[in-house]
A and B are shown apart, each in its own frame.
Chain A
Amino acid sequence: MNNLSRRKLIGTGLAATAGAAGLGVAARLAQKYGLVPPDHGGIFGLGETLTYASQRLLTSHSLAREFSHSQISKPPLANEMAPLPDVFKRLQAGGFADWRLSIDGLVDRPASFSLAQLKSYPSRSHITMIQCEEGWSYIAEWIGVPLHHVLDAVGVQPHARYVVYFSIDKYWWDSIDMADAAHPQTFLAYGMNGDELPVGNGGPLRMRVPRQLGYKNVKFITHLTVTDSLKRFGKGLGSASPESGYAWYAGI
């Protein structure tokens, strides 16, 4: 072994050690500052972690683009849907008067709200785009109560990290981190284009997360849980989406 190759070998060894140590430190820092998504395991973990960490560093507080009234898509598209459960049809027959939204988990005052109670909070609206991961999109005016108002009402505990939300269709649930949950444009939406939210678009109550793709905007919300860990929910991947192959973080 001549000098050059020995020097090269030592240099490569040092670089590899430094690289591995650097990655280790980076992984711990990322974990500490909440830059690791729940579906970080497996072969696509690298890409998902890079995407989520970059978005959290760059876009935590940025606002989704808003549009003018003239840009609202007419008619609004209602995506195809799985058949609704009987319990939904019974509530629908009663004009959703008995629809309840329950909130538990890391909150000081677990509570259950009727739609009327949610509507008694200051109503907000924004004209934003909903984008399906398939490629299509539409713009609508979304009316509702900002999620953070409701979370403030029940008193979120300081170590909360995620809000998990469940549809009346029990196979459909998802979660967002506190950056999106506390975001001013994240709504529990009950209205659309100046009217009630149509069932086809998620009425009577839909989670509206305008900085993420359509599938994070779960329809027919009945239950929220505030938590510090997603491990106990389903397969621990953060939502039903990764269980069927789709990324948990859909801000891309």
Chain B
Amino acid sequence: MAELESVGAPLAASVPAPASSVPAATIPSRHFLLVRVTHWITTFCFLALLVTGTEIVISHPRFYWGETGNVLTTPLFKLHIPSSRALVPSGYGYVLPDQNGWSRYLHFQSAWIVVLTGLLYVLYAFFTGHLRKNLLPAKSDLSLRAFWTAIAKNLRFRRPPAAEAWSYNLLQRLAYLFVIFVLFPLVIWTGLAMSPAFVSAFPVAVNSLGGQQSARTLHFFVSLALVLFLLVHVAMVFLAGFWSRTRAMITGRAATTTPTEHP
């Protein structure tokens, strides 16, 4: 475990030094192996969930509030897209092909994999100090002023200094914490609240949301919030240097040769 304890301010001594003289090999890991692996599993699962979720929505692009909703009831809102079912009055003169079967199979399989991966990550984050060291903001950053400074800094859209490649900044930490501990639990909850068998055992999961159709509508909005996070996340990676940051998340190697002291 020794060499894995070093995300923020890695100690040179904890890194196994190979006999070869390849300089890159002496650079410590930017991201732990487990963080990298869970990151990419989550990425692939999320993309699969997004594509299949969209496909499922296309079969009934209308959203409701309360327990029930169908083409005979008034929707809360509807998406102005064609549907894969003739039953839905979409306003388009054609019906898209039905791809719901494999979409549903893949949606639930990806959900299982991402939930188990997420659990592994959260357990790891709690028990290795990853959460405390790399995700929770430093005490000195917990002020409104630090928060505004961070926002102002980000709004300048300048490439962050090399030193920042070694730790998450305040806004990153808050965004990641929100995704991990608010959006993911919400999307799982609202998803389970749509399952007729699950709510037979745990009716409070759906009753507390105002009904099964409310759960479906909320599931849609939480998914949109996750997509928004993904877009900002990818935009920030581009801003910081797409290849170096992506390589760091794949191989663990950061672009800079020496990590500077992390507060």
Which A residues are closer than 8 A to B by beta carbons?
Answer: 4, 44, 46-48, 50-51, 55, 58-59, 62-65, 67, 71, 73, 75, 77, 79-80, 129, 131-139, 210-213, 244-247, 251-252
Contact = CB atoms under 8 A, between A and B. Distances in A.
Nearest to A71: B67
Interface string B214-236: 00100000000000000000000
B144 to A, nearest CB: 42
Interface stretch (B103-111, B174-182, B243-251): B103-111
B60 A134 contact: yes
B104 A133 contact: yes
Given A59-B198, A211-B197, A246 B72 contact: no
A129 B100 contact: no
A138 B68 contact: yes
A46 B112 contact: yes
B14 interface: no
B140 interface: no
Interface string B67-91: 1111111000000000001110000
A49 to B, nearest CB: 10
Main secondary structure of the interface of A (DSSP, over half): loop
Nearest to B192: A252
Contacts of A210: 196
B43 interface: no
Interface residues of B, number: 42
B70 A138 contact: yes
28 contacts: A44-B102, A44-B105, A46-B109, A50-B112, A55-B198, A58-B198, A58-B201, A59-B198, A63-B200, A65-B206, A73-B70, A79-B87, A129-B196, A133-B59, A133-B100, A134-B87, A134-B100, A136-B60, A136-B69, A136-B71, A137-B67, A139-B67, A139-B68, A211-B200, A244-B101, A245-B102, A252-B195, A252-B198
B217 to A, nearest CB: 10
A47 B71 CA distance: 31
Given A46-B112, A246-B104, A247-B101, 6 more contacts: A71-B68, A79-B87, A134-B56, A134-B87, A138-B70, A252-B108
A42 B60 CA distance: 28
A131 B212 contact: yes
A135 B216 contact: yes
A243 B105 CA distance: 13
